[in-house]
Structure 1
Amino acid sequence: MKTKHKFLSVIGTVFIAVTAIVFTWLPTYIEKSRNRVLPSQNVEISTTTKKLHQSLFIADLHSDSLLWNRDLAKKSDYGHVDIPRLIEGNVGLQVFSVVTKTPKNLNLITNSDDTDNITLLTMAQLWPVKTWFNLFERAIYQAKKLHRVTNDSSHNFFLVRNQQDFKIYLQKRKNNPQITAGLLSLEGAHALEGKIENVDRLYEAGFRIIGFTHFFDNALGGSAHGINKGGITEFGKQVLKRMHELEMFADISHASPALTEDIFIHSKRPVLATHIGVQAVCESKSKRNLTDKQIKQIADSGGLIGIGFWPTVTCNRSITGIVESIRYVNDLVGVDYVGLGSDFDGNVQVPFTSSSIEQLTHALTQADFSKQQIRKIMGGNLQRIFTEYLPSN
């Protein structure tokens, strides 16, 4: 009897230990291994550049920080983004994208939609059971996480939903640069689960940008990384129409060339490419990076290109690749259509975190961009677009 009791005690101890590893250590280990900072040379930044950086309104179009279980209201020593580090880096606005599904053995060229890495992550991170097998619930849960940050961050973080919110926030920031703001974006409209009414539900939850596809084709159209890579579907047209009515933005970052072309044809608002590169600088086999024609189409729509920070879209492991991509867009269509699209915390390695983004300001000055150009690139362009095109009420 004692032996049996001892055996059960050992089994119980092992179970508790394994559970602790799975639900505490494992999610942290996964994020630490996926969201790293690339080795870089120490750069001495001049006082003049530091002063310029502090005078900028800095805005980034894409991060996936809500996918992970870190408390974004607290400073962390891993990952790329949290509220304290945004403030430390003088970032005035961070777009927080919501990822709801990624395929197993993620392939940049071709993926089907019949596997899902995020299911195990939701379980390991102890997300609510209703998120385990429901993509829409995953989107809503992550939105609620950002709302909680708004409530828990001692009044230094604001969630922007419309023009009035943005105007009030910008006025507050003039008097207090130790605050920052966020806006919600959806990465992949498969989270709609084929229901047009879910566009309105996402809008009510605070989403203002929808990326039509992620790493696989869905009910709206083809992905740059999908199997068929088709154009927009009838459901996709319905979604785009409803987004226009709600004054939401379409994001083409992972769209197939055919879907991208169709969005330009049917869109009546500025089109965004929130985190992307350019083919002329970094030729991507998946055709994800923008062609010259697509860059011009975004400019013609009055939209914005967020240049990514990671090597897959810049073909460079240093800041140089980011600057070269920005330079190319600037030279092709002008400085008004290029901004930042880091993909922080998006399973990528980047040259710096949000707290040290002044390294990019330094690199742009070294590349002979003017102060006016730098102001627009680092966030002024996005500020202008959101001021004019966010929902008016």
Structure 2
Amino acid sequence: MNKKNYRGYQSYQYLEAGADFKKFELVRETTLFPEYDMGVTEEQEARVQSIMANNIVISLHEHTFKAPVNLNEFFEFRRWGRDSTGYEGLSVSGLDCVFDNLMNGTAMITSRGGWKWGDILYDLGMRLSDIAHQDMVILGLTTDDIRRAKANGQIAFVPSIEGASMIENELDRLDILYGFGVRCMGIAYSEGNQLGMGLKEKRDGGLTEFGKQAVRRMNKLGMAIDVSHSGDQTSLDTIEVSDKPIFITHAGARTLWNTNRLKPDDVIKACAAKGGVIAIEAAPHTTITANHPRHNIESFMEHFEYCVNLVGIDHVSFGPDTLFGDHVGLHKAFAEALSLSASKGSQPYERVDYVAGLENPGQCFPNIVRWLVKHGYSDTDIAKVIGGNTMRVLEEVWWNPRKQGHGAGHA
């Protein structure tokens, strides 16, 4: 794989571990589980390398931190608020841009409930401080930043947040988050909030009036909107109210696996009709199918192909939602905070220790492209789904100083 310009930096090495902050033993960024053999020929692998080298590769949803080896320490690790980015693993990922969703609701520095305004800012500022001390990962604020990262052997890091609970009833907090670099935000994370309903709620009344104001403010700011964890009606309302395309950054098709964590056809169609993109999710035990009840890259790609057939190749991408560490173990540790029981549905499924072929951010996209090459997709279509479709939406949604009349006040 075409490696990035990685020079060995480890997170927070500008400080003294054990003196300036507590040191935890973190996982290695190399795979924790056996490598997944995609069975490609030498010729196919050469094509994979060429496609990734010559096209922008974007993950619409990841958490690129390194988890502690001892998950019993995870809550204490979180309370220190100091995530370590997996720079070495990212250097071989093939990614040119990653939408990183930070600690989100697990930023439990001051509260076990999560989603507090101060904790979110603490989490964001600490992570960006670390990024500012190295040069392989850059802050991705514009589409030009993404192109520059590609050209310079770097990775554009796009700060993203999965739900808007922390803004409470303060619309201007969206502007503040934008000023801190946030370029993508979800409406609700599973639980309902001031904006609308999450997928955990049994009754979904849709976007609130404040939620509609928030959507319009995000449009004006140039902040991408995500409805991955929002309820169905809230998702539909968001798509309708937004005057820009929106993202479903990490989900799949509920038709293939009946759980609230995945999206019904009408939401996927509405998203595409507005010009938006659905990116396929790979967090453990999400994109399962009846044909592939054991979660792996085959079930994941069945969701991809279903969505392509439903709305077309121009409206589908990938947001694997992976991390460096024991993802299943973390889900167990944070089952209540992440509302996992509410999102899994009642169907029996085969539990796995990891999702074969899609274990971590360093592994996903090379294997996705290998699968696409093996299954006869053209270079043009592969370029669309690994980054081109996302760039098209971002060109329309994000603020660009070269564009005239973008939102109020930018004429």
Shorter-normalised TM range: 0.7 to 0.9
Preserved contact between residue 59 and residue 92 of structure 1 (Cα < 8 Å): yes
Preserved contact between residue 231 and residue 262 of structure 1 (Cα < 8 Å): yes
Deviation at 1:98, TM superposition (A): 3.7
**Is 1:71 aligned with 2:84?**
yes
Which of these residues, 170, 175, 193, is aligned with residue 147 of structure 2?
A: 170
Runs of 5+ in structure 1 lacking a partner? 1-18, 73-81, 103-117, 123-128
Deviation at 1:101, TM superposition (A): 2.6
Alpha-carbon distance between aligned partners in 1 of 2:163 and 2:373, rounded to the nearest angstrom: 35
Task: Indicate the residue corresponding to 1:214 in structure 2.
Answer: 189
Task: Indicate the residue corresponding to 1:78 in structure 2.
Answer: none
Alignment of structure 1 residues 177-256 onto 2, 5 Å:
178-256=153-231
Q: Percent identity?
A: 23
**Is 1:303 aligned with 2:302?**
no
Q: How many residues align?
A: 329
**Is 1:334 aligned with 2:312?**
yes
TM-superposition CA deviations, 1:153-175 (whole Å, max 9, x none): 1x22211223xxx325414533x
Alpha-carbon distance between aligned partners in 2 of 1:239 and 1:264, rounded to the nearest angstrom: 13
TM-superposition CA deviations, 1:304-359 (whole Å, max 9, x none): 11100134321142111121111111111111111111112374644232222311
TM-superposition CA deviations, 1:241-280 (whole Å, max 9, x none): 2112112222110111121121122111111101111112
Assess, with a 3 A threshold, how the Cα gap between structure 1 residues 262 and 48 changes in structure 2: closer, same or farther: closer
Alignment of structure 1 residues 77-156 onto 2, 5 Å:
82-101=86-105, 118-119=107-108, 122=109, 135-153=116-134, 155-156=135-136
TM-score (norm 2): 0.72
Deviation at 1:150, TM superposition (A): 3.3
Deviation at 1:212, TM superposition (A): 0.8
Alpha-carbon distance between aligned partners in 1 of 2:316 and 2:146, rounded to the nearest angstrom: 23
Assess, with a 3 A threshold, how the Cα gap between structure 1 residues 288 and 44 changes in structure 2: closer, same or farther: closer
Deviation at 1:230, TM superposition (A): 2.9
Partner secondary structure for residue 94 of structure 1: strand
Preserved contact between residue 224 and residue 288 of structure 1 (Cα < 8 Å): yes
Preserved contact between residue 82 and residue 126 of structure 2 (Cα < 8 Å): no
Deviation at 1:51, TM superposition (A): 3.0
Partner secondary structure for residue 181 of structure 1: strand
CA RMSD of aligned residues (A): 3.0
Alignment of structure 1 residues 284-299 onto 2, 5 Å:
284=259, 287-299=260-272
Deviation at 1:62, TM superposition (A): 1.0
Partner secondary structure for residue 185 of structure 1: strand
**Is 1:320 aligned with 2:298?**
yes
Which of these residues, 377, 394, 397, is aligned with residue 369 of structure 1?
A: 377
Deviation at 1:130, TM superposition (A): 9.6
- Greater per-residue helix proportion: 1
Preserved contact between residue 63 and residue 94 of structure 1 (Cα < 8 Å): yes
Preserved contact between residue 248 and residue 390 of structure 1 (Cα < 8 Å): yes
Partner secondary structure for residue 386 of structure 1: helix
Larger radius of gyration: 1
Which of these residues, 365, 378, 382, is aligned with residue 386 of structure 2?
A: 378
Partner secondary structure for residue 232 of structure 1: coil
Matched to 1:42, the amino acid is: D
TM-superposition CA deviations, 1:102-136 (whole Å, max 9, x none): 6xxxxxxxxxxxxxxx53xx3xxxxxx69998711
TM-superposition CA deviations, 1:206-252 (whole Å, max 9, x none): 11111011121111111111354331112211211211211222211
Alpha-carbon distance between aligned partners in 1 of 2:377 and 2:369, rounded to the nearest angstrom: 10
Partner secondary structure for residue 239 of structure 1: helix
Preserved contact between residue 161 and residue 391 of structure 1 (Cα < 8 Å): no
Assess, with a 3 A threshold, how the Cα gap between structure 1 residues 172 and 310 changes in structure 2: closer, same or farther: closer
Runs of 5+ in structure 2 lacking a partner? 1-17, 66-77, 289-293, 332-353, 402-411
TM-superposition CA deviations, 1:171-209 (whole Å, max 9, x none): 4533x3x21111111111111122112111111111111
**Is 1:54 aligned with 2:53?**
yes
